[in-house]
Amino acid sequence: MLNPMPESFDYSPPIEPWLAVVYADEDIVVLDKPSGLLSVPGKDPRLSDCLEARVRARWPSAALAHRLDKDTSGILVMCLNKKALGHVGQEFEQRRAKKTYVARVWGDIDDEAGRIEMPLATDWENKPRQCVDWENGRPSQTEWQVIRREDGITRLRLNPLTGRTHQLRVHLLAIGHPILGDVFYATGAALAAADRLQLHAETLGFHHPRGHWVDFVVPTPF
């Protein structure tokens, strides 16, 4: 049983680092988004501070090619012109972009690797939560591999083959191993085991708008 959705949204985005740039050229900016910072602004003016706004203060033409959840940290790419945005957007849409995440989850997973295939949909009574929905959900696949076992906690490398909202968080919850510190999907000891969501976008590779393949790595901070 998940905790009730909070009635208010407490938003205290990290100030340091204000903007962590991994790479930049005339077409793209690659960033290391900290946990706790929105990718895009919310409707409430109190939610205006976000990665997009911070980047546009330096590169006014910047536009997001994809997003990360507020509490997820790691690699995110923005584009500096329409041509680049269209190209990188297609890299994600056509699943040519390759990305991996690292997560620490509650419990000992039995196997060393596997694939989760469960359709996902919005949990309308508890929005923005998502849920497994075998009748109306969109097909969703996640590959996982054990990196290390840590005394009742398992560190995983995750490869999302699809890009559904909260996909990794819901898939891991559904197999009985919620991500530590997940305020939406973890409860009890799993929630209390970390002071932030233990999910990090560590690697990202895609074809650059100029045609060549690029790879980026931001080491996991936990």
Going by pLDDT thresholds of 50, 70 and 90, the confidence category of residue 7 is low
Determine the pLDDT at residue 180.
98
**Share above pLDDT 90 across residues of the chain, in percent, rounded to a whole number:** 94
Is pLDDT above 90 for 1? no
Pull the structure tokens for residue 60.
């006014």
Strand locations in the chain (E): 21-24, 28-33, 63-64, 73-79, 98-106, 113-117, 120-122, 130-132, 141-149, 153-160, 199-207, 213-217
The per-residue pLDDT for range 117-138, each reduced to its tens digit, is 999 999 999 999 999 999 999 9
99-213 classified as CATH 3.30.2350.10: yes
Determine the pLDDT at residue 6.
66
Instruction: Map tokens 């501070």 to a residue.
Output: 49
The per-residue pLDDT for range 61-76, each reduced to its tens digit, is 999 999 999 999 999 9
As beta bridge partners, residue 81 has: none
In the annotation, is 69 catalytic?
yes
Determine the pLDDT at residue 10.
82
- Kindly name the residue from 69, 71, 123, 182 that is annotated as catalytic: 69
Ranking 10-14, 117-121, 168-172, 205-209 by mean pLDDT, the lowest is 10-14
Is pLDDT above 90 for 15? yes
Mean pLDDT of 168-193: 98
Is pLDDT above 70 for 53? yes
More confident position, 105 or 6: 105
Mean pLDDT of 101-107: 98
Mean pLDDT of 108-122: 97
3-class DSSP assignment, residue 45 = helix
Check for a shared fold between 11-94 and 99-213. yes
11-94 classified as CATH 3.30.2350.10: yes
Write down the mean pLDDT value for the chain: 96
Which sequence spans correspond to the domains of the chain? Answer: 11-94, 99-213
Give the closest residue to 99 by CA, choosing from 180, 159, 156, 157: 159
* DSSP string over 63-123: EESS---TT-EEEEEEESSHHHHHHHHHHHHTT-SEEEEEEEEES--SSSEEEEE--EEE-
Going by pLDDT thresholds of 50, 70 and 90, the confidence category of residue 4 is confident
Mean pLDDT of 160-172: 96
